[in-house]
Structures are given as structure tokens and as C-alpha cells.
Amino acid sequence: MRGHGVLGSAVALCVFALAVTAGGAAQPVGQQVVLPGPVPYPTDNPPLLGRTPLPPAYLGPLLHISSTDRVVVGVGPDGRPVRVVAHQRLLVHGKGDYQLAISVPVEDVQAAAGSDSEPGLRTDQVLWAGFSPGRKVLAANVTLRQRAAGKYLPVHLRLRRAGDRVTLTVINTTPTAESLYAGTTHRAELAGLLDATRRASLAGQRLTGAYATFFGRVRVPKQKVPIEAPIRVEGELRLPGQAPVPFSRTLGDGQPLGFRVEAHGSGTPHVRLLARPVPVVRLLRPPGAATWVDAVRRRPLPAAFLLRRLLETRMRLVRADQYQSFLSDPDADGRSRSVYEYETVAASAPRVAAAPSDGGGGTSGLLVVAIAVGSVALAGGGLVFWAHS
Amino acid sequence: MRRSVALLAGFALIAVLAGGCGKKSAAPGGKIVVAVDVPVTGSPYIAETIKHGVQLAASSTSSGTGGVLVGGKNYGLKVKVYDNHASARQAVENTRSALDAGAVAVVTDGTGVQATWQLAEQKGVPICITYDGASGLVDPAARPNVFRIAPTNHGIAFRYAEYLIPKGLKIGLLHDDSAYGQEGASDLDRAFSENPRSVALRMTLPAGTADLSAQILRARRSGATALLVWGQPSTIAAVLTAARSIGWNVPVYAPPTGSDPYIRQRLADHPSWVDGLTFASSRLTAEVGTTPFENFQSQYESAYGVDEVGVKTAGGKPVVQPPEFAMYSYDCVNLIVAALTRAGSTDPRKVQAALNQVTVVGANGDERGFNQHNHEGVVDDDVYFARFHDMTYAPVKDDPLSSTLPAIPQTR
């Protein structure tokens, strides 16, 4: 239930709405411009939304709820999701009443092991009501409507067989186009903000509100940039009688948004994959110094580069935070964590594609995204190189 | 000229305002019948309070909004009251009559629901239980038309286990041989099954017997240090009489029947014998405070007067009974009204389906509603414990939920 919505993607909106001008036109004065994070989220989903209006909710003033979602995705022989079940565990801290409704495209819900209460079900709503004597576990297995939930999963898989070769393609599907903004700024201040953002990211903390000082006009370039949630994926592709092919990558954070794994042999391939949103690490690493402040002291990194890096990394952290709540946490200030487990569930062999001799059959989406990210990384790298030269 | 323009503008404004104030009234749709099946001649207090709750909700609907808006038509609510004499056979007859009268829903204390639900289900008519908490009565899968707003036996039994076992008491689990007592006993057995060492004895008492001295003597000799008595008000009064008359000040715990005025009336000559009696029921107030319930109580008393218990405090103040069960039937009717509106139809099947999807603010300020998996309007967590002192009761302080609840004024 954190702030989200398509309008949320208009970062510029926040920028101008919250800008505090110092007044006076005689000389250029700084204006405090709000930076991305912790909200709003750039898209409506996730957390998933149902179609029905929610009844009034109540959460006692002394109560806090943290949420952990384990999203189990059953994939078919072609790698597409055929079943999505979210195991949500809400931990209620404090003494008081709660009446909660979670909006979600739900088919069915059952109490999960360890739950202190039974969930209720309405059309597109999971309900909880009761009293917490100090601590209470509300755990449910929420069977989601696959078509409604599947399109918001952070990773898509494709399995193809050509002869004795099976190819698994894994793609980060979280990128969304967002607006940046530009203007005249203080390099030292931006460096300090980058360091603060980096500390929060490495500590796994949610962003807190932050401002940067702009002098003169704040511009919003027409061209939007793709912003992804960095996703860590680990797993294996296995064929009967063959050694499993393990993989472990971070998709995003300046690295490609997809990859392929191949295995050889006959029989039905089996995939297991664990995906989780992770902090921004690589893009927040200061060039040639321990901190961004030191880096700026050593060489004059352009303020435009620093600003863009600050905005993009904060947007990525917001996007990653968004995917930490696949199902809503009824406590807007609660801590949410989500992991996504994919596993093949169909016994039949994957759909046999026409033998793609050049492998071109499944490249389009992956390559487009990879090229886009590559070019962004190259541009960033070029700036760093320029700064070092 | 300027004056006439101003005058014209004034008229125009008045015309606009008048137009805005006008209310488009929906076409009249006739009457919607809500049947009330209660033991008028079996348990008059329960019957009266349930009936009054239904009537109060129906009259509030009529006076507040001019009726129930269903599919563009405005309907009045008509309440038809049937006396089931606390007899399942009579409840079946009454249900047939109610269905013949076109009832869109039946509100009942719970008498005979084991037999009546199928009759009602044939026409898709929902039944709302507002007193009997017996397990098995409500089952959304097997009995999709049965709903309940009342504390459940299951919830009360398990809350008692949670409350009493940590006290290290040796509990005598007593129940009478009425249907109410036997149903409660089976829930108590389940609740205490994992802690058999907490139970000193189990005993069945004859319902309606005034003298239980032999049974209570046996309970005392078993080493019991507390009695949990699941039975009719008369049974609880008889247990208190038998125990206190031999000087045994054992703590006595009871289900919601422990708050029945009958017990205090019966023991009016020995008010100290009631002191310490603890009963479990559903909380009367929400975390938002006492105001919603007090408003409801005020409405109730304006319409029907106070429910006098018939006893006085030591200070001579008359004791009154808060309209607890009226609150449940009141909420039940409001949910039926919300379901009618949502369904946009008076077809009972559509109303029944809509009951799974609507929520109303209950008389105590809590949200009240059912859902596809749960037809219980009172969650087990809301069971609290109250203890009598000086003929009135207050929430106990040694239970996490109860300790947060305020006492409801019970004197006038």
C-alpha cells in the first residue's frame, strides 16, 4: 500500500511540486529539489492490485506489520508461468486491533503453517481481522490468478529445445521508462548524496527522502531512460542423467538484463531459479576512490554525470523496493521482502522450436534490452574514462 | 438597473440551490420481509433483545434513508417475528411460514438451524444466527446460506484454555445436559485436550435442577481449584448456590450465559455469591472507544427502554443489561441491507452471495462482515473475559485483550 501508481513514474512531478524556492529574482538562488525515493513507485503493480474496492481497514496505532512473500512460480515446459502462489507471512508487532484487507488477484487462500489466524476471502481480497496480544503471525498461501499475476513477475523464462540442445533464457522484466531531470547543481553536494545513497543501498535500507540544490531552471529532458530493479538470480538447468548447469547473475545494476544457459542431452529439462531484488552496488561504486566525495576531490567529475548517476541509482533502488512487495503490506511503513522461486512443473517436454541455427529465434527481447543497458553502461564508462584522462 | 440585475442573480441562485436541494426519490418497491425466529416463550430475554436489535436496524433504515435502495427502487423493511419456543420442530414450522411470506433472510437465535438451513437453502434464503455459538452450525462450504454474528463456542473454549491453563489451576469442566451444555462441552474437551493435567474432572449436570450440592461436593473433593461451567443460566446459578452455601469460594467461569440477568435475579438475596463470577463473551467496544456502542445503546434505550436486570447495587442503583445480543442482530440486519443494495436485487440467492462481499460498521464501531471462507461475524480474537462485582461486570485485567477494554456503565 505504499505510494504507487503510474503518476508515480513522473519523478519530475515531485520535483516541481515539492521544490522550495528561496524567492528573490536578483541573483540565482538555490532551490531544494526532492530526489527519487522512497516513493512513489513508477508503476501501479507490484504490489499486485485486485479489481474490487477495499473495505475500510484498521490498524491499531501501536501495531506494525512486516511482510515476507515467497512467490512460487510454476513454469510450463516452455518456461512460461502456469501457476503463481504467494506465501505471504505478515508479522504483527504490538498490542491492538487489526482489520486488514489486501487487494490482490486471488483465486483462493488458505492459512499457511504457523499462522495464528485464518484468512478471509472476498473477490480479489484477502482479509485478516483480530487482536494482537503483542505478536501475531498471519500466514497465508495465496493462489493468484496466473494471467493477472504472471505479467508482473520480475523475471521471465523461456525454454527451447533444438536437437539435443536446450536453451534457457532468463530476462529481467522490470525496466520501465522514467524521466530524469537536469540543471545546475553542486558537485560536492551530489557526491555527498551519492555516498549517502550508497550507504543505504549497501546496508539494505529503504531510501529516505533527500533533496538536492539546483540553481536556475530545472529541466526535464524529453527522452526517458529505462530503469530496472536489479535482480539477483541463482539456479540450475538440469537434464536427466546430466550434470546440472548452475547459474548465478545479477540482472541490471549496469550489467546485462538477460542471459542464456545451455544444456545438452535428451529428456525433459528441469529449471529451478531463485530471484530476488537486490541493492544497487556496481553503479554506486565511486570511480577510483573510496567515496564519491573523495572521487570528486581527486578529479572534476562533471556535475551532470553525478546528477544523472544519483537519479538513476535512486530510481533503481525505488524500483527494487517496489519488487520487495509482490503482495501489499497493510502497514505502509512496514518492511517487506519478496523472493521469487521458479520451477518447472509440467512433466511434458518443452515445445520444440524450429531449429534456430543462428539462435536468432529468441534473441529479440533479450538483445534489445541488453543493448540498451550496454549503451547506458558505455556512456557512463565513457564519462568516467574522460574524467580519468 | 444594477439592483434588478442583483435581484435576478439572487433568484437564479435560489433556484439553483433549490434545485440542488431537491432529492431524486427512487420508485417505491414495496416491502422486503426479514423474519425473526426466536424463543419468545423459551428464553424471553434473548428473544426480546434479538427482536429489538432487528427492529431497531429496520427502523433506522427507514428513518435514515427512507428505505433500502435495491436496483433503483426503494423498499421498506418489514419485520415478521416467529416464536420457536426453543424447539427445533417449531423452528422448522416457522421457517416454512417465513419462506411462504417471502422472507429475504431469517434472523434467529440458532434454535433448529440444523434442520432449517436446508429448507431455507432451497430458496437461497440466508439465515443469520445471533446467539448460539455451537460448532458445526456454520460451514460456508456445506451450508452456504448460514451466517452468524455471535461469539462461537470454539472461540470461547480455546480462549478459556489460553487464559486459564497458564494460571496453573485444576479445572473442573462442568456442563449441563441441555443441547447448549453438551455442545459447549465438546468444544471444551477439544480446547483442553492437549493439557489434560489442567483438568481435575469432567461432569455432566442435570439442567433445570436447583440443587446441585452433591455434584459440587464431588467437584470439591476432586481437587478442583476452579470450575468452568458451560450451561444454561439456571445451571450456573445452581452451581454458585451450591458452592457458596458450603463456603467454597472457588472461582467460577462461564460462557456468555454467565451474563444472563437470570443469574443475578436468582441470587439477588446473596449478591456476594455473584462476585467473582467470570464469563466470556465478545467485546462490546472496539479500539476506537466506547462512543459507538454508547450511541447504539442510547438509540436502543430510546426505542425500547433499558433492559433492567431486576437487581440493585450495594449503593441502591438499579442495574441494567447492556444490549449485547441486540447489537449482533442489529449488525446482521445492516449487513443484509448492504447485501441487498450490492446485489441490486431482492432475489435471496443474490443477497446470499452479496453477503460474502460486504462490510458495515458495526454497532460497537468494529467493521462487521463475512467472506467466502468465513461466515462468522465475530472473530475468536474478540472473545474477552468479564468479572462480576456488586452485580455489575467489568473486563478482567489479567488478559491482554480484556485489559484494554473499558467497562460499560450498567447502572441508572
Asked if the C-beta of A118 comes within 8 angstroms of chain B's C-beta atoms, the answer is: yes
**What number is the average pLDDT over the span A6-23?**
41
d(CA A314, CA A320) in angstroms, rounded, equals 10
Does B376 reside within a domain? yes
The answer to whether B154 and B135 are in contact (CB under 8 A) is yes
Q: Give yes or no: residues B138 and B121 share one domain.
A: yes
Does B8 reside within a domain? no
Does B13 reside within a domain? no
Contact A52 B357 (CB under 8 A): yes
**What number is the average pLDDT over the span A12-37?**
60
Task: Report the residue from B286, B374, B382 with minimal CB separation from A120.
Answer: B374
- Cα B61-B62-B67 angle, rounded to 5 deg: 85
Model pLDDT, residue B29: 76
Does B112 reside within a domain? yes
Q: Give yes or no: residues B79 and B225 share one domain.
A: no
Give the ranges where B344-365 is alpha helix by DSSP (H). Answer: 348-355
Asked if the C-beta of B366 comes within 8 angstroms of chain A's C-beta atoms, the answer is: yes
Contact B400 A133 (CB under 8 A): yes
Model pLDDT, residue B412: 87
Contact A129 B367 (CB under 8 A): yes
pLDDT band at A20 (very low <50, low <70, confident <90, very high): very low
d(CA A122, CA B133) in angstroms, rounded, equals 23
B389 burial via Cβ count (<10 Å: 0-12, 13-18, 19+)? middle
Nearest residue to B369 via CA among B383, B379, B381: B379
Looking at beta carbons, which residues of chain B come within 8 Å of A117?
A: 379, 381
Looking at beta carbons, which residues of chain A come within 8 Å of B404?
A: 95-96
Domain residue spans of chain A:
6-388
Domain that holds residue B329: 27-152+325-380
**What number is the average pLDDT over the span A59-63?**
90
**C-alpha separations of B401 from A15, B128, B382 in Å:** 46, 27, 8
From first CA to last CA, the distance across chain B in angstroms is 66
Contact B374 A118 (CB under 8 A): yes
Other CB atoms within 10 A of residue A87 CB: 18
pLDDT in tens, A266-304: 999 999 999 999 999 999 999 999 999 999 999 889 999
Model pLDDT, residue A229: 98
Query: What is the average pLDDT value for chain A, to the nearest integer?
Result: 85
Other CB atoms within 10 A of residue A181 CB: 21
Does B19 reside within a domain? no
Question: Hey, which residues 44-73 in chain B have their CB within 8 Å of chain A?
Answer: none
The answer to whether A370 and A258 are in contact (CB under 8 A) is yes
The answer to whether B156 and B256 are in contact (CB under 8 A) is yes
Model pLDDT, residue B64: 61
Residue pairs spanning A and B at CB distance below 8 A: 55
Q: Give yes or no: residues B165 and B72 share one domain.
A: no
Q: Give yes or no: residues B250 and B128 share one domain.
A: no
Model pLDDT, residue A120: 95
pLDDT in tens, A352-372: 443 333 333 333 344 444 444
B177 burial via Cβ count (<10 Å: 0-12, 13-18, 19+)? middle
CATH of the domain at B397: 3.40.50.2300
Nearest residue to A380 via CA among A261, A286, A267: A286
Does B412 reside within a domain? no
User: What residue in A sits closest to B355 (Cα-Cα)?
Assistant: A122
| pTM score, whole prediction | 0.79
d(CA A193, CA A122) in angstroms, rounded, equals 45
Beta partners for B295? none
Q: What DSSP designation does B24 have?
A: P
Other CB atoms within 10 A of residue A236 CB: 17
Q: Give yes or no: residues B140 and B192 share one domain.
A: no
d(CA B85, CA B123) in angstroms, rounded, equals 24
Asked if the C-beta of B369 comes within 8 angstroms of chain A's C-beta atoms, the answer is: yes
Examine the pLDDT at A49 and tell me if it is beyond 70.
yes
Nearest residue to B180 via CA among B198, B216, B214, B205: B205
pLDDT band at A24 (very low <50, low <70, confident <90, very high): very low
Contact B381 A117 (CB under 8 A): yes
Residue A275 grid cell: 530471484
Q: Which one-letter amino acid corresponds to residue A189?
A: E
Looking at beta carbons, which residues of chain A come within 8 Å of B400?
A: 95, 131, 133-134
d(CA A322, CA A337) in angstroms, rounded, equals 10
Model pLDDT, residue B131: 94
d(CA B126, CA A3) in angstroms, rounded, equals 40
Q: Give yes or no: residues B147 and B206 share one domain.
A: no
Contact A95 B382 (CB under 8 A): no
Q: Give yes or no: residues B244 and B141 share one domain.
A: no
B361 burial via Cβ count (<10 Å: 0-12, 13-18, 19+)? middle
Contact A95 B372 (CB under 8 A): no
Q: Give yes or no: residues B200 and B228 share one domain.
A: yes
d(CA A283, CA A134) in angstroms, rounded, equals 41
Q: Give yes or no: residues B273 and B184 share one domain.
A: yes
Work out whether strand A120-122 and strand A125-144 pair parallel, antiparallel, or are unpaired: antiparallel
Q: What DSSP designation does A124 have?
A: T
List of residues 6+ apart from A369 with CB closer than 8 A: A171, A172, A175, A226, A256, A257, A258
**C-alpha separations of B402 from A117, A136, B230, B364 in Å:** 19, 17, 20, 15
List of residues 6+ apart from A157 with CB closer than 8 A: A75, A79, A80, A168, A169, A170, A171, A271, A273, A342
Asked if the C-beta of B396 comes within 8 angstroms of chain A's C-beta atoms, the answer is: no
Q: Give yes or no: residues B248 and B355 share one domain.
A: no
Contact A56 B371 (CB under 8 A): no
Asked if the C-beta of A55 comes within 8 angstroms of chain B's C-beta atoms, the answer is: yes
The answer to whether A142 and A41 are in contact (CB under 8 A) is no
Looking at beta carbons, which residues of chain A come within 8 Å of B379?
A: 117, 129-130
Q: Give yes or no: residues B135 and B225 share one domain.
A: no
Q: What DSSP designation does B376 have?
A: B
Work out whether strand A81-103 and strand A125-144 pair parallel, antiparallel, or are unpaired: antiparallel
Asked if the C-beta of B141 comes within 8 angstroms of chain A's C-beta atoms, the answer is: no
Q: For testing the chain A interface, which of B287, B378, B404 should be mutated: the one with the most A CBs within 10 Å?
A: B287
Task: Report the residue from A121, A129, A133 with minimal CB separation from B372.
Answer: A121
Asked if the C-beta of A143 comes within 8 angstroms of chain B's C-beta atoms, the answer is: no
Q: Give yes or no: residues B371 and B387 share one domain.
A: no
Model pLDDT, residue A29: 74
Does B358 reside within a domain? yes
d(CA A115, CA A252) in angstroms, rounded, equals 36
Question: Hey, which residues 288-347 in chain B have their CB within 8 Å of chain A?
Answer: 288
User: What residue in A sits closest to B372 (Cα-Cα)?
Assistant: A121
The answer to whether A268 and A349 are in contact (CB under 8 A) is yes
Tell me the torsion sign for CA atoms B256, B260, B266, B267: positive
d(CA A69, CA A47) in angstroms, rounded, equals 11
Contact B372 A122 (CB under 8 A): yes
Examine the pLDDT at A7 and tell me if it is beyond 70.
no
Asked if the C-beta of B404 comes within 8 angstroms of chain A's C-beta atoms, the answer is: yes
Nearest residue to B166 via CA among B404, B399, B408, B406: B399
Task: Report the residue from B369, B374, B379 with minimal CB separation from A55.
Answer: B369
Query: pLDDT 10s digit of each residue in chain B, 412 long?
Result: 344 444 444 444 444 444 444 445 667 778 999 999 999 998 888 999 999 999 999 998 876 666 888 988 899 999 999 999 989 999 999 999 999 999 999 999 999 999 999 999 999 999 999 999 999 899 999 999 999 999 999 999 999 999 999 999 999 999 999 988 999 999 999 999 999 999 999 999 999 888 999 999 999 999 999 999 999 999 999 999 999 999 999 999 999 999 999 999 999 999 999 999 999 999 999 877 889 999 999 999 999 999 999 999 999 999 999 999 999 999 999 999 999 999 999 999 999 999 999 999 999 988 899 999 999 999 999 999 999 999 999 999 999 999 999 999 999 8
Model pLDDT, residue A356: 36
Extended strands (E) in B168-213? 171-176, 199-205
Buried b (16+ CB within 10 A) or exposed e, A370-382: beebeebbeebee
A257 to chain B, minimum CA–CA distance in Å? Answer: 42
Half-sphere exposure of A326 (CA within 13 A, CB side): 34
- Number of domains chain B is built from: 2
Nearest residue to B243 via CA among B258, B226, B257: B226
Model pLDDT, residue A27: 52
Does B130 reside within a domain? yes
Instruction: Give how far the C-alpha of residue A85 lies from the chain's centroid of Cα atoms, to the nearest Å.
Output: 19
